[in-house]
Structures are given as structure tokens and as C-alpha cells.
Amino acid sequence: MVLGAGLGTRLQPLTDLCAKALVPVGDRPALAHVLDRLRTAGVLRVVVNAHHRSSDVRDFVGARFGDVAVSEERDLLGTAGGVARAADLLGEGDVIVWNADIVANVDPRLLAQTHGLHPRTAATLVVRPRGRGQGSVGLDAANRVVRLRGERVADEVSGGDFLGIHVLGSGLRATLPRHGCLVGDTYIPAMRRGATLRALLTEAPFFDLGTPTGYLDANLEWLRERALVHWVGPGAHVGVGVVLESSVLGEGASAIGAGTLERCVVWPGSSASAPLADAIVAGNIVLRCGGVTGEITA
């Protein structure tokens, strides 16, 4: 289950132009990165939920991933409600849940295998380890989750960041509310009842596309992974006076002016004017990523 129904408010005004799940990372939308990873891992049944600009998500999935089902939500149901609504599409059993705005080098097969090693585990969360008391998750010595969002049920020996990638076990899945949050309304109450949640630890890089800075960083990492100084999409144009450094120029985009375009992402069909640094250009929006929310100019 790929959770793509978020409103993307932290990424506005970019998400006024497209669904958050479809913001481009490198050569394709974020959702395509997640679906490609699941497909490579041999996951045969995948459902994506959608709410904000749901028709965009439906059209994209239909054109690129014809074997993937889309669960369109007229009302926003939350992460737990979204999985519950897609029950018939998902079928029975455990479910891998992956936030569409998380780009991470996580192997779904390893996650499923790790969960399967402990049949009584209610859920298995992918966690990047941190020091004791740090991050959104606390773990005991056996990597059992004992703290979530400040709710602690036992002493912890280490902390960590929950990546928004997890396995929801079939038993806990049967208790999902029609509206609600997987962490707040399902996992935390389950911990209080004595259910066991475990962690799969990973040091793999991960990026939350929910903020402009996180989104830009994900694109820069995409370049680094491929040892690219820049990437120019099909039909894109770079002016003779422009130098690209650590920048992504989408399909049909253009770089004009004179100077360097450095650490920039230019969306397909958009035009960026050099010199420019640490910015996202989408249509007539220039979002400068100097902070968490960025500075918007038109």
C-alpha cells in the first residue's frame, strides 16, 4: 500500500501544481521511484491511495503502471483509514505500507522477511538508528518498539527515526478504523495493549519530500548516486551562457540567462534564469530553499 493521499501543505505552492506523490525526483515522479522499487522486489499486488488531485495520480498510474490499483478517497481518511478502505484491493494478509513522499534505499523483500521471522509481531517499522531518547521511536535491546511519538511503554536503550515504511501485520490490520492514523490510532493503542512492534534498522539514506529543502536534497542525492554533475531531460534546452552544477533540468525545460544554475531543480516545461542557486522552479514559481519553508517569488 503506497500512501499518496496527503494534501502536501508543507510543499505548497508546488503541490498546487501537482499531487505531492508526483513531484519529480531526477528523471521521474516520486511515486514512480517507490513503485519501481516494489516492482523490482517482486511485489505483485500494489495499491496507491489518492485524494488531492487524485485524477492526476490515477492518470499517471494508468499510463505507467497498469497493474497497480488506485483507491481514490473523496474524503481524506488518514493513513489507517486509507489502508482499511483499500482492503478488497489489497486482499488478505500482511501489508507493506510505504509513504509516497519517502524516497529511501530500502529493500521490501528484506522488510517482509524480517517481519516474517516473528509471527506474533503486530507491525515492523523501518527505523534509522539514533541515540537513546532521540527521534520519533524508542527501542529496547531486542529492537522492539517501546516509544512512539512520546508514548513510552517500557525503557529504551536507543532511539531512531521512523521512515514511513513498515509492515502492518494481518492481525492488527483487522482492527483498523475507517478514519484515522496508523501511528496515533493503531500502533500506539496496540502498544498499550501489550502488542509487539519491532524495528528493521537501516543506515540507508532517506529523504522526506514533504518540505522544499527535503525535496531539493532528494534530487541532489539522485545526482550523486549516479555520479552526475547535472541531468538534462529529453527536449530540455540549456542556453549558451548557462553552466549547470548539481542541477536537474526536467523534460522540455529550459535554462536561460548568463551564469550558473547551482543546486536547482527545474520542473518539466519550466524555465529557470541563471544565475540561481538552491531553488526549485515550477511554472512561474521560484522557491528558494534557504530554510524549512523556502522563499517564494513569482
Measure the CA–CA gap between 247 and 277, rounded to whole angstroms.
9
Cell numbers for 35, please give them. 513503485
Measure the CA–CA gap between 122 and 197, rounded to whole angstroms.
6
* 235 and 147 belong to one structural domain: no
Last residue in a domain, options 173, 207, 241: 207
Average pLDDT over every residue of 109-134? 96
CB 269 within 8 A of CB 252: yes
Q: What is the pLDDT of residue 289?
A: 87
Question: Looking at this protein, which amino acid is placed at residue 116?
Answer: G
* 70 and 215 belong to one structural domain: no
Query: Tens digit of pLDDT for each residue in 214-235?
Result: 999 999 999 999 999 999 999 9
Task: Please state the domain count of the chain.
Answer: 2
* 186 and 49 belong to one structural domain: yes
Pick from 149, 143, 108: nearest CA to 127? 143
- Count the residues in the chain: 298
pTM for the complete prediction? 0.92
* 44 and 168 belong to one structural domain: yes
Pick from 154, 179, 188: nearest CA to 81? 179
Last residue in a domain, options 180, 207, 234: 207
* 6 and 107 belong to one structural domain: yes
* 286 and 176 belong to one structural domain: no
* 145 and 293 belong to one structural domain: no
**Range list of β-strands (E), 212-253:** 230-232, 237-238, 242-245, 247-249
* 232 and 144 belong to one structural domain: no
CA distances to 166, 176, 194, 211, 258 from 102, rounded to whole Å, are 12, 23, 29, 11, 35
* 191 and 223 belong to one structural domain: no
**Structural domain span for residue 227:** 211-297
Last residue in a domain, options 207, 233, 255: 207
| Cβ-Cβ contacts under 8 Å for 66 (sequence gap 6 or more) | none
Measure the CA–CA gap between 145 and 127, rounded to whole angstroms.
10
* 164 and 131 belong to one structural domain: yes
pLDDT above 70 covers what percent of the chain? Answer: 97
Q: What is the pLDDT of residue 116?
A: 94
* 103 and 144 belong to one structural domain: yes
* 149 and 235 belong to one structural domain: no
The maximal CA–CA distance of the chain, rounded, in angstroms, is 65
CATH number at residue 203: 3.90.550.10
